[in-house]
Each structure stands twice: as C-alpha cells, then as structure tokens.
Amino acid sequence: MTSTITLDGNSLIREHVAAIANGASVTLDSAQLAKVQRTADFLADQVKRGEPIYGVTTGFGSNADKLLGAYRARDELPGADLVKHDPEVRDGTLLEELQRNLVITHAVCVGKPLAIDVVRAMLAIRVNTLMRGHSGIRAATLQALAELLNRNVIPVIPEKGSVGASGDLAPLSHLANVLLGEGEAFHNGERLPGGEALKRAGLCDCRSKKAWR
C-alpha cells in the first residue's frame, strides 16, 4: 500500500482507510477539489443574494423560518428583507458566529479519548465524503483537515456522546474544534490545547488568523 493516499470522494477503500489510520499521508485530487470550491462559491453567492438557506442564513429546527439579522424567511413577513441590508449579515459576521457556535456547542462528548488510529480513520472518511462536493464546504477547509493528518495533529475526541439521532455530530464537533484553535489535540503523541498543537505543527492558530473557515 502506498504511503500517500489520494482522496477524491469516490475511490476510497477499506485498505486505504487502514493505511491512513496507521500513518499514511493524504493528498486531495485537484480536479475534485475544484468542484468542491465551485459548490462553495455557489453557496456564497446565494448568501450574498439574501436567499434563505437552512442552517446557513437561518436558524435550525423550529427556527428554520427565521433569518439571521431578521425575523422570518418569507418575504411577506416583517424583517424578511433585512438579511440583504444588515451589514453584519452581508459581511459574514453573523454567519461565521452561527457556524462557530454550532461547532462549539455540539462538542459535548465525555470519557477517555478515542485511539489516535481511530480518529485518523474518522478524519480520512470525513474528508473523503466532503470531497464529493455536495456540502458547500470550502476547499481550504478540506486542505486544512488533510494537513491535520499529514502533520500528525490528531483531535482529542472523547469516546462517549451523541446528539440524538444525529449521533456523529458531537464527535465531529470535537474534530472540527481544533481548526478553530479550540479543543485539544495530540501532536506527536503529546496532548495539547488545539491552538498550541496547530502552532507546534507549523499550522495557523485560527482564533487569531481566521485562515481556516
């Protein structure tokens, strides 16, 4: 098995996952990464246009008809057009705050950390899934996740916890937390605060540089 596995969203097999779990590095298919970015650009354009998008410009669950900076997503209700004019919505401040808070508030697992090889496998599978280009994630975020694997920055994910039927949201929030400079991570076997692990690996501390969003 090669020491570098290419992730393209389609060709990952069990042997690849095992190799990455045991330390193989990853690279991202450039053509597929371009497709990922096209989807992200489309989503960004819809946000600029003030379109109501669940969980991006709106709340969640029972708040799905409420826009950030407004009241309702329907044009005929008060405040619906505010998303097109509120500067904090237009420049992304509120949207970024929503997504950041979503990650932080779901990082609620407890117990012993999952084994490093298990988390490496989780990272590989998550990156490969997002490489399909259906989610609206930025290419830069996927590149950052790949660099966690390649530079041996492995998020600390406690072994117990879920969010109801969406059971993977809690452990995946611990995984994503490290890109925000939050949470904890193992770097070369040492358990560190997330931001410190990024710095030691030569990666950015996103709390100050906002490079990975």
Active-site amino acid positions: 54
Q: In angstroms, rounded to a whole number, what is the distance separating the alpha carbons of residues 22 and 34? A: 28
Closest by alpha carbon to 33, among 6, 1, 4?
A: 6
**Residue carrying structure tokens 């407890």:** 110
With contact defined as beta carbons under 8 Å apart, do 187 and 195 qualify?
A: no
**Residue carrying structure tokens 């975020």:** 141
